Chains A and B, each alone.
Chain A
Amino acid sequence: MRTWKDRMRHSTRGLGFVALVLIVAAIFGALEPRFLSYVSLNGIARHMAANGLAALGLTFVVIVRKFDLSIAGVAAFCAMSMGALIAAGWPLWSVILAGLALGAVIGGISGIAISRFGLPDIVTTIAVGSIGTGLAFIYTGGRSIFQNFFTSGITDLNDAKLMGLGVSMWLLVAIYALAWFVLSRTRTGLAFYATGENPMAAHFSGIATRRFVALAYVLCAMCTVLAVLLILAESGTAETNKGANLMMPAYAGVFLGAAIMGGTSVIASFGGILLITMLLDGFALMGLPYYYSDGVVSLILLIGVLAFSDGARGTLEALRFLFWPQKPTKPTAKGSDA
């Protein structure tokens, strides 16, 4: 169990994170007053819902120490499949269930290929993603699908509000709360972490590590489906390039959050994706051309990961030693949890 000191350090990092979010909000608010308007904040909440769901899926995969690069492909194929079903007149709930099932199957294929058959995760998911991107074209050959979208009720996911907050935001909070409970408060969650930390030890502790790796990919694909569902709800059409912009923010959110909070967790991903979405929307509002957004996200990700890496900490220690050679440096325990 966590000691009092651990808790302190954790909450210090959490407070730092909140401060960082407030500072970013204040800077954008000062530069562009519209940033803090209700419309803009609502937009951030909606974008965060989509980005956040993709990031949550990725969180599971990153916790078992793997990568998933099929997010864009899975999103494209499932978006077009759901669009085709809506156009065929299926009721919305069955469309969502079918989309989730399809995502689970694709995630299961990647997951089993990687966990059971030992294929390399990065290239396998790139291949699966490529097949998904190609399959997205089979329904219409690349044309967008919009039939029945406005009568199916999918746009309510974007427009409807509950106590002043969009439905999508409530969905995000609910799913994050569920994921937080499972990962931080149950044996299942512990098994995910153990699988990532040391698969061998986890295996000998009686954890079916392969099953948890596969499960992580299934959950990642299903979260991606929900994320792209929200994008469909926002735009009112299904297009083959929907979801192409989900992957970079997801990676940036998960790794930035992990870097700042000192470990991958649901809360870290939530904070990370909040920060990333604020930055993206802020820059967009200030009129930064669209082609800079990937670069900005990448740069933030790189700086974040670098700034909180062990290597950077070593460099800092070395510098301190250079400038104050007499001062006895206390052994820091921080290295262990970062």
Chain B
Amino acid sequence: MTMTSTVKFAQSRPRGRKIARLTTDLWLVVAVIVVTLGIASQRPQLLDAVNIATVLKSFSIMVVMVLGLTWVIASGKIDVSFMQVAALSNMICAYALAQGWSWGGAIVVALLAGALVGLINGWLVASMRLPALIVTISTAGICASIAAALGKGTVIRIADPGPLEPLLQPALGGAVPMIVVPVLLIAAVAWFVQERLSFGRYIYALGQNEAAVRAVGVPVVKLTVVLFVLSGVSSALAGILLASSLSSGQPMIGGPFLINGLTVVLLGGMMVRVGKPNILGTLTATLFIGVLFSGATLLGLPDFQRQIIQGGLLLTGLIVATIAASHHGARTAGQ
């Protein structure tokens, strides 16, 4: 109901539209601030330098993991293999180091593995026209099995912390790990690509009407393959960061990230470009979830309650995005 009236209001008066626009653009930022202040009033430890550093570290890793996924979902496809790609690259990294490789070699191999999985996903989805869910659910299972097999079902410890370790340590006043800087730079480049280059336009066009995009001569197959490869590489990078952060390869690490990743991408899709996943939204939503979970831990909520809250958030995000999209559709159809 409120949604309807906002839209009508926005149509009737230009200034109202501007305000409505700003609200839809920035409400998640407001939510982040409100949640932060709300939790901090109950548990001041939330704003301790150490805690902020922890939140920002997991924020950085999460953002890297879902950057590619954001575009895959924006283009109307789905990739549910990203978390297992991260687990695989995490284990490859640890395994290679245990075999006496250098960190450089381990990182390259792990990234290549991510790119390969992305390439297979993209080829099967785009060229062979198989359903994206079935393809990625299968590659996820295969990656998880290989990851577990590399460590024979258990964890591989990493002795040498490696070159990424200093990036993950708190710096800049003890509250901000350096990793945030390159991650934000990558996100900025991605934002530029998404908003200013035709590549970005194609992604959203693909999500709207694949046949039309194909008809105007965009190489849809290549584009889809590139999107899946980007998703594979970015998840693999997150897996490498996890290896450095945890000083170990954890074969079972992927599971919980599925729901986390989808939640941030779809929740993020509710701001800036309403109804469509986008980079800025993903960043904000990741911060939101990070603060919320840190707060939940400080408030002493058990793990399973977090899972229920997250499922609820994801559903809420879906409902709002669907309503927004249908209103958007009705508006453009009416004009």
With both beta carbons as reference points, the residue of chain B lying nearest to A311 in the complex is identified as B128
Interfacial chain B residues near A141, Cβ < 8 Å: 302, 304
A126-183, CB < 8 A from B: 126-131, 133-138, 141-142
Q: Is the CB of B262 within 8 A of A291?
A: no
B50-94, CB < 8 A from A: 78, 80
Q: Is the CB of A309 within 8 A of B129?
A: yes
Q: Is the CB of B322 within 8 A of A130?
A: no
Q: Does A317 contact B (CB under 8 A)?
A: no
The CA of A40 and the CA of B116, in the complex, are separated in Å by 39
Interfacial chain B residues near A306, Cβ < 8 Å: 124, 128, 130
Interfacial chain A residues near B153, Cβ < 8 Å: 289-291
Task: Decide yes or no: A305 and B322 within 8 Å by CB, A126-B262, A135-B308, A137-B302 being known contacts.
Answer: no
Task: Decide yes or no: A294 and B311 within 8 Å by CB, A117-B319, A124-B318, A289-B153 being known contacts.
Answer: no
Q: Is the CB of B311 within 8 A of A131?
A: yes
Interfacial chain B residues near A299, Cβ < 8 Å: 138, 141-142
Q: Is the CB of B315 within 8 A of A124?
A: yes
Q: Is the CB of A134 within 8 A of B304?
A: yes
Q: Does B203 contact A (CB under 8 A)?
A: no
Q: Does A248 contact B (CB under 8 A)?
A: yes
The CA of A292 and the CA of B146, in the complex, are separated in Å by 8
Q: Is the CB of A298 within 8 A of B315?
A: no
| Residue among B145, B149, B266 having the largest count of chain A Cβ atoms under 10 Å | B145
The CA of A240 and the CA of B280, in the complex, are separated in Å by 37
The CA of A137 and the CA of B306, in the complex, are separated in Å by 12
Interfacial chain B residues near A287, Cβ < 8 Å: none
Q: Does A67 contact B (CB under 8 A)?
A: yes
The CA of A133 and the CA of B316, in the complex, are separated in Å by 18
Q: Does B278 contact A (CB under 8 A)?
A: no
The CA of A124 and the CA of B322, in the complex, are separated in Å by 11
Interfacial chain A residues near B305, Cβ < 8 Å: 134
What number of A residues sit within 8 Å (CB to CB) of B? Answer: 46
Q: Per DSSP, are chain B's interface residues mostly helix, strand or loop, or mixed?
A: helix
Interface residues on B, range: 35 or more
Q: Is the CB of A130 within 8 A of B141?
A: no
Q: Is the CB of A123 within 8 A of B318?
A: yes
The CA of A113 and the CA of B323, in the complex, are separated in Å by 12
Among the listed B128, B251, B304, which residue makes an inter-chain contact with A312, where contact means beta carbons less than 8 Å apart? B128
A289 to chain B, nearest CB (A): 6
Q: Does B186 contact A (CB under 8 A)?
A: no
Q: Does B140 contact A (CB under 8 A)?
A: yes
Q: Is the CB of B134 within 8 A of A251?
A: yes
A41 to chain B, nearest CB (A): 26
Q: Is the CB of A123 within 8 A of B262?
A: yes
| Residue among B142, B312, B326 having the largest count of chain A Cβ atoms under 10 Å | B142
Q: Is the CB of B314 within 8 A of A126?
A: yes
Among the listed B133, B139, B251, which residue makes an inter-chain contact with A291, where contact means beta carbons less than 8 Å apart? B251
Q: Is the CB of A289 within 8 A of B137?
A: no
Q: Does B264 contact A (CB under 8 A)?
A: no
Q: Is the CB of A120 within 8 A of B141?
A: no
Among the listed B124, B128, B258, which residue makes an inter-chain contact with A126, where contact means beta carbons less than 8 Å apart? B258
Q: Does B6 contact A (CB under 8 A)?
A: no
Q: Does A122 contact B (CB under 8 A)?
A: yes
Q: Does A310 contact B (CB under 8 A)?
A: yes
Interfacial chain A residues near B141, Cβ < 8 Å: 248, 294-295, 297-299
Q: Contact flags (1/0) for A299-320 with B, using CB distance below 8 Å?
A: 1011001100111100000000
Interfacial chain B residues near A309, Cβ < 8 Å: 128-130
The CA of A163 and the CA of B169, in the complex, are separated in Å by 67
Interfacial chain A residues near B308, Cβ < 8 Å: 130-131, 134-135
Q: Contact flags (1/0) for A247-261 with B, using CB distance below 8 Å?
A: 010010001000000
Q: Is the CB of B137 within 8 A of A298?
A: yes
With both beta carbons as reference points, the residue of chain A lying nearest to B144 in the complex is identified as A294
Q: Is the CB of B130 within 8 A of A294?
A: no
B190 to chain A, nearest CB (A): 22
Q: Does A97 contact B (CB under 8 A)?
A: no
Q: Does B236 contact A (CB under 8 A)?
A: no
Q: Is the CB of B311 within 8 A of A305?
A: no
Interfacial chain A residues near B130, Cβ < 8 Å: 305-306, 309, 311
B255 to chain A, nearest CB (A): 10
Task: Decide yes or no: A138 and B304 within 8 Å by CB, A292-B145, A299-B142 being known contacts.
Answer: yes
Q: Is the CB of B145 within 8 A of A296?
A: yes
Interfacial chain A residues near B322, Cβ < 8 Å: 117-120
Nearest 7 Cβ contacts at the A-B interface: A295-B145, A298-B141, A291-B148, A131-B311, A134-B307, A137-B304, A130-B311
- 21 A-B contacts, Cβ less than 8 Å apart? A123-B314, A124-B315, A127-B314, A128-B311, A131-B311, A133-B304, A133-B307, A137-B302, A141-B302, A248-B137, A292-B145, A292-B149, A294-B144, A294-B145, A296-B145, A297-B141, A298-B138, A301-B134, A305-B135, A305-B138, A311-B129
* Interface residue ranges, B against A (CB under 8 Å): 78, 80, 124, 127-130, 133-135, 137-142, 144-146, 148-149, 152-153, 251, 258-259, 262, 266, 302-308, 310-312, 314-315, 318-319, 322, 326
Beyond A130-B259, A311-B127, 14 additional contacts (C-beta under 8 Å) are A124-B315, A124-B318, A127-B315, A131-B312, A134-B307, A134-B308, A134-B311, A141-B302, A291-B144, A298-B140, A302-B124, A305-B135, A305-B138, A310-B129
